[in-house]
Amino acid sequence: MKTKPALRDPKTMARSPGITYQQLLDEDTQTVPDVLRLESPMDFGNEDISIERYTSREWFDREVEFLWQRVWQYTCREEEIPETGDYYKYDIAGQSFLVVRTGPGEIKAYPNACLHRGRMLKEYDGRVSDFRCAFHGFCWSLDGKLKDVPARWDFQHVEDEKWKLPELPVATWGGFIFINPDQECEPFEEFIEDIKSQFEGRWPLEKLHIASHTAKTVDANWKIAQEAFCEAYHVNATHPQILMSLGDTNSQVDVWRNCARVITPGGTFSPLLDEQPTKEQMISYAMDLREGEPIPEIPEGMTVRAFRAAGMRAALRGPVGPSIDECSDAELVDSIDYTVFPNFHPWGAYNQIVYRFRPNGNDHRSAIMECIMLAPFEGERPPPAQIQWLAEDESWSEAIGFLGKVFDQDFFNMPKVQQGLESTYKSGVTLASYQESKVRWLHHRLGEFIEEGEKKAGAK
């Protein structure tokens, strides 16, 4: 993509008919936080995205070398390694890393490889007092120092000082632990700044706990899986059941350097519907009510958004406290879907969903999607929910209910997108200028990353 990104003017650019997101915010029953008033629509031009990015092994290999080995990436939550010696095995695109708590407030990360003959040090997550390799028994302390070499007399050429486990840069934000496999990477503070400044003081994700964690693989490139969650344009054809309660094409799309967001308003209806639904229809679709189930009555003069927000406030008053009463309707009913480049998707506000998309091992035609539900809690932090892997024939809806139905519809498309791209005579994927601009941003950053990496490698 050659076009230089440029900010667009929200007042003059082409927009969906119907109420804009900012106009909806004007009707909020509470004060809307500044972060939702930001607008940053970005113009990346309208060039197609090359199909080889999804289908070619060569492109995937470039991603492994110049993206995954160079980018800051989310590994696990702090709450998943609460005690000294707890470690998490993080795998990405054929490589494996260990993220370990080495002391209170101290986390380190190492390549998951023994320095003797290279055996993987750990196959599973767990808790240890040191890392002893299962092959010949070389051992390292938690802080990476060489601790024991069996039959040391035969390894006089091994110098302890040079045999520390290589340390990778580690950082945390919002209770999430990030690593960067590149020891000379950009500072984390610069990388995370865009999203950090927007969440700070309003949406403290570190105060939440993992209420559920579900994962499933799909036969599609990791970007096909991810991009299905980066725009609301597909809702009309893929999820028609939610058009009555979702302003799909009214979504606001904002792009910064390392993060972007699509905000899709809830408790309103799609401008693509021929007829405006009644409030009863909207609420029954929003709540996924069955035929004959009672429809709650909405007080005269109250909007569906305000009604749904009031219900959410009542449900959250216990765990969040009285501050929930000042929380805007928007924060309670809208899908505030943030993405941090390249694959980490923490939603904003009180719809506490986090997605992550990764290649499935070293396979460019298979991906892993994870969905983590974060929740506020009262009293002591509950233990984090264990990851639940869904088998190929298990549905998301069985695991996570209403939202799962939507995921099942998305998953149904993904392998078909892969197969279509393998067969097409077209050389590129064509994107909408505005509604799909988060997808375009992901490709723009990906291209930049790969080019930069190749340049650096060439200069060495």
For ligand FES, the binding residues (CB under 6 A) are: 114, 116-119, 133, 135-138
| Chosen from Fe ion, ligand FES, none, partner binding at 402 (C-beta under 5 to 8 Å by type) | none
Give the up-direction half-sphere exposure of residue 4: CA atoms within 13 A in the CB hemisphere. 1
Q: Which is nearer to ligand FES, 15 or 132 (CB)?
A: 132
Partner that binds at residue 133, options Fe ion, ligand FES, none, CB closer than 5 to 8 Å by kind: ligand FES
Q: State the binding partner of 116 from Fe ion, ligand FES, none, CB within 5 to 8 A by kind.
A: ligand FES
164 vs 207, beta carbon nearer ligand FES: 164
Residue whose entry in the numeric block shows the structure tokens 């490698």: 457
Nearest distance from C-beta of residue 135 to ligand FES, angstroms: 4
Q: Name the minimum Å distance from CB 80 to Fe ion.
A: 27
Could you give the C-alpha distances from 410 to 220, 224, 414, in angstroms and in order? 12, 10, 7
| Residue 132 binding: pick among ligand FES, Fe ion, none (C-beta 5-8 Å cut-off by kind) | none
Q: Number of C-alpha atoms within 13 angstroms, CB side, residue 331?
A: 23
Pick from 418, 425, 423, 429: nearest CA to 48? 429
Give 118 or 401: the residue with its C-beta nearer to ligand FES: 118
Angle CA 279–264–358, to nearest 5: 135
Closest C-alpha to 196, from 52, 27, 84, 340: 340
Provide the minimum distance between the beta carbon of 57 and ligand FES in the complex, in angstroms, as a whole number. 30
Q: 451: number of CA atoms within 13 Å, CB side? A: 8
Nearest approach, Cβ of residue 261 and Fe ion (Å): 16
Where are the strands (E) in 51-175, listed by range? 73-77, 86-92, 95-103, 106-111, 126-127, 130-132, 139-141, 146-148, 170-173
Strands 387-390 and 428-429: unpaired
> What's the closest the beta carbon of residue 91 comes to ligand FES, in angstroms?
19
Amino acid at 445: R
Q: How far is the CB of 154 from ligand FES (least distance, A)?
A: 12
82 binds, among Fe ion, ligand FES, none (CB under 5 to 8 A by kind): none
Q: Which chain residues interact with Fe ion by CB under 5 A? A: 410
CA distance 255 to 440: 10
Which of ligand FES, Fe ion, none lies near 410, with the C-beta cut-off 5 to 8 A by kind? Fe ion
135 binds, among ligand FES, Fe ion, none (CB under 5 to 8 A by kind): ligand FES
Q: Minimal distance in Å, beta carbon 115 to Fe ion?
A: 45
Q: Are residues 51 and 422 in contact, defined by beta-carbon separation less than 8 angstroms?
A: no
Between 82 and 137, whose beta carbon lies closer to ligand FES?
137
Q: In this complex, which beta carbon is closest to ligand FES, that of residue 138 or of residue 411?
A: 138
Residue 220 contact, options ligand FES, Fe ion, none, Cβ 5-8 Å cut-off depending on partner type: none
Minimum CB separation from ligand FES for residue 418, in Å?
37
What span, in angstroms and rounded, lies between the C-alpha atoms of 371 and 115?
Answer: 34
**Nearest residue to the partner Fe ion, using Cβ:** 410
Task: Give 156's contacts (C-beta < 8 A, 6+ positions apart).
Answer: none
Nearer to Fe ion, 125 or 410 (CB): 410
